[in-house]
Amino acid sequence: MKKTSLILAVLATGIIITTFSCKKKTETIVEEKIVYQTPPPGPPTLYTRLGGINPITLVVDKFINNCATNSFIGSRFSSTAADPNRLQVFRYNLIDQVCEGSGGPCKYKGKTMLQAHTGMNITGAEFDTLVVQLVKAMNTYSVPTQEQNDLAAILLPMKTDIVGH
């Protein structure tokens, strides 16, 4: 009888502890609320129309791959592609650049386009080939024409800082 009481007491304590800790866990989860930001007034930014950071990342990754495997400009990116750390920095810089340029919440921390490309003597034909790789990447993910044109309008003016330096 005494033994049974002891077993019951142990079981009861276990149940109380389990209930208590379960309750605590539940309360913690309830406290972790997602805070949704109020969208800015006015028409949606290009960033929003592109679908935000995930679609931008997909397009940038495809774009880098297209460039690195292109027969005309691929050799320009061979050192970058061969070094995983360098490739990752380049990738993040491009993502930030597109994200910030399209009105998103990122901050580009890389070099200016003039600094980044000086000494490379990039030709107009190479620049145009790179743009084709971007268009191909956007087509891969069915980016609509309007958004393609809007992104091109942000990047194309950089040509003067990239070509011939």
- Site residues for ligand HEM per CB under 6 A: 73, 76-77, 80, 86, 90, 93-94, 97, 110-111, 116-117, 122, 126-127, 130, 155, 158, 162
Q: Which is nearer to ligand HEM, 58 or 116 (CB)?
A: 116
Can you tell me the distance from the alpha carbon of 165 to that of 162, in angstroms, rounded to the nearest whole number?
A: 7
Minimum distance of ligand HEM from residue 145's CB (angstroms): 19
Can you tell me the distance from the alpha carbon of 60 to that of 91, in angstroms, rounded to the nearest whole number?
A: 7
Q: Which residues contact 16 (CB under 8 A, 6 or more apart)?
A: none
Q: Which is nearer to ligand HEM, 66 or 97 (CB)?
A: 97
Which 8-state DSSP code applies to residue 36? P
Residue nearest to ligand HEM (CB): 110
Q: Which is nearer to ligand HEM, 51 or 108 (CB)?
A: 108
Minimum distance of ligand HEM from residue 31's CB (angstroms): 40
